[in-house]
């Protein structure tokens, strides 16, 4: 079609996209909700039996069955660094995310042995020295999560200055595990030999792997400054027979380079 004299053809402007491509890094604060299942915490260790000839008649704590799942909450802090690639409004990236926390959980159980027939107690027990004793036995299993992090892929979509995204990746956590059993003995018959309290424990630090899923949103407040909010759930393989799950709601701020 011929153009009118004095006019120019219409040339559409190129689409404008908010730039998220490139390296970025930042810091974060979070609220942690951890689930710890201590039901089988003593299955991995022999406490009292068969490693202690004197107290072997007490049996293995793993057979008590009084331990179970618990939920604990704490705070966390850490940082992240990553790289984004971008095609128009689609953003795909890779990020390393680290968190420092102190989530402590423990579960205890109690057994008693009584020659007087005290309610809830078994009868007096004959120890490896051949004499009968009353006894009080307490066992405690605990786990403490100190550090955890993820290597995760992110997929996002730019909406103005917002970028909502989903995350999926691998997770790792460092956990301190402690299992302790303590027995206090009381001679049934006067003149029988006294037996000192006996404690056995197992203390370990373990790393465990798992997977991580979540979602969040980044918001650009300046050309190279953004804030974020996100939720992430990490599920780990059992560490020393203790099952661990961590859910974290966090906020953060970062710089684009």
* Residue 6 domain-assigned (yes or no): no
Owning domain of residue 181: 22-256
Burial (CB < 10 A; 0-12, 13-18, 19+), residue 88, is: exposed
172 inside domain: yes
pLDDT digits (tens, 9 = 90+) for 12-27: 655 556 899 999 999 9
8 A C-beta contact, residue 175 and residue 68: no
Phi, psi of 61 (to 5 degrees): -60, -30
Q: Residue 214's domain is classified under what CATH number?
A: 2.40.160.20
In a domain, 8, yes or no: no
Work out how many domains the chain is built from and give that number.
Answer: 1
Give the model's pLDDT for residue 2: 54
Q: Is residue 188 part of a domain?
A: yes
- At residue 56, the 3 state secondary structure works out as helix
pLDDT digits (tens, 9 = 90+) for 81-133: 999 999 999 999 999 999 999 999 999 999 999 999 889 999 999 999 999 99
Q: Is residue 15 part of a domain?
A: no
Rounded CA separation 79/81 (Å): 7
The span from the CA of 218 to the CA of 163, in Å, is 5
DSSP code per residue over 28-51: EEEEEEEEEE-TTTTTTS-SSTTT
Please check whether residue 153 lies inside any domain of the structure.
yes
């Amino acid at each position: 079609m011929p153009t009118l004299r004095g006019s120019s053809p219409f040339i559409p402007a190129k689409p404008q996209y908010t730039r998220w491509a490139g390296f970025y890094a930042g810091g974060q604060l979070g609220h942690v909700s951890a689930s710890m299942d201590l039901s089988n915490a003593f299955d991995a260790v022999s406490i009292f039996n068969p490693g202690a000839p004197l107290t072997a008649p007490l049996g293995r704590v793993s057979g008590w069955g009084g331990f179970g799942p618990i939920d604990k909450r704490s705070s966390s802090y850490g940082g992240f660094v990553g790289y984004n690639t971008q095609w128009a409004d689609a953003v795909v990236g890779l990020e390393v995310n680290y968190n420092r926390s102190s989530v402590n959980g423990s579960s205890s159980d109690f057994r008693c042995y009584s020659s007087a027939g005290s309610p809830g107690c078994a009868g007096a027990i004959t120890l490896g020295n051949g004499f009968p004793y009353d006894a009080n036995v307490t066992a405690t299993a605990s786990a403490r999560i100190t550090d955890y992090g993820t290597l995760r892929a992110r997929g996002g979509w730019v909406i103005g200055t917002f970028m909502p995204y989903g995350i999926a990746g691998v997770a790792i956590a460092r956990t301190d595990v402690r299992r302790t059993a303590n027995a206090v003995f009381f001679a049934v018959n006067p003149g029988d030999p006294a037996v000192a309290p006996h404690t056995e424990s197992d203390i370990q630090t373990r790393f465990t792997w798992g997977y991580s899923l979540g979602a969040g949103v980044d918001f650009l407040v300046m050309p190279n400054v953004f804030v974020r909010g996100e939720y992430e759930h990490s599920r780990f393989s059992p560490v020393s027979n203790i099952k661990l799950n961590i859910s974290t709601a966090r906020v953060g701020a970062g710089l684009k380079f």
